[in-house]
Amino acid sequence: MNGYGYLIVGIVVVAIIALLATNKKFVETLKNIYKIEELRKRILYTLGLLLVYRLGCFVVIPGINPNALGEGSALASQLEGNGLLGLLNVFSGGAFGNAAIFALGVMPYITASIIIQLMGIMIPYFQKMQKEGESGRRKMNQWTRMLTIIVLLIQGPAYITNLYRQVPDAFVYGNTFLFLAYATIILIAGTMFIMWLGEKITDKGIGNGISLIIMIGIIARLPQSLFQELISRMTDKTGGLVMFLIELVVLLVVIAFAILLVQGTRKIPVQYAKKIVGNKQYGGARQYIPLKVNAANVMPIIFAQAIMFIPITLVGFSNVNDASGFVRALTDHTSFWYNLIFAVLIILFTYFYTAITINPTQMAEDMKRNNGFIPGIKPGKQTAEYIDVIMSRITLPGSFFLALVAIMPAFAGIFGVKAEFAQFFGGTSLLILVGVVLDTLQQVESHLLMRHYDGLLKSGRIKGRSGNVAAY
Alpha-carbon distances, residue 146 vs 190, 259, 285 (angstroms) = 15, 36, 49
Asked if the domains 36-206 and 237-472 are classified in one and the same CATH topology, the answer is yes
Q: Which CATH number fits domain 36-206: 3.40.50.1980, 3.30.390.50, 1.10.3370.10, 3.40.50.2000?
A: 1.10.3370.10
Q: Is the pLDDT of residue 7 over 50?
A: yes
Tell me if 128 sits within 8 A of 135, measured CB to CB.
no
At 95-132, the pLDDT tens digits run 888 888 888 888 888 888 878 877 877 778 877 877 77
**Mean pLDDT value across residues 18-22:** 61
Q: Which CATH number fits domain 237-472: 1.10.3370.10, 1.10.150.110, 3.40.50.720, 3.40.50.300?
A: 1.10.3370.10
Q: Is the pLDDT of residue 1 over 50?
A: no
Rounded Cα distance between 234 and 247, Å, is: 13
Rounded Cα distance between 119 and 457, Å, is: 41
At 260-277, the pLDDT tens digits run 877 778 888 887 776 666
At 216-260, the pLDDT tens digits run 888 887 777 777 777 777 776 666 777 878 888 888 888 888 888
Q: Is the pLDDT of residue 193 over 90?
A: yes
At 55-70, the pLDDT tens digits run 888 888 888 888 877 7
pLDDT at 468: 37
Q: For residue 181, count other CB atoms closer than 10 A to its CB.
A: 13
Q: Where are the chain's structural domains?
A: 1-33, 36-206, 237-472
Give CA angle at 105 (298, 78), nearest 5°: 100
**Mean pLDDT value across residues 146-165:** 88
Q: Which residue did the predictor score with more confidence, 390 or 83?
A: 390
Q: Which residue did the predictor score with more confidence, 24 or 300?
A: 300
CB proximity list for 15: less than 8 A, separation 6 or greater: none
Q: Is the pLDDT of residue 317 over 80?
A: no
Amino acid at 467: G
Please state which of the ranges 66-70, 193-197, 318-322 shows the lowest mean pLDDT: 318-322
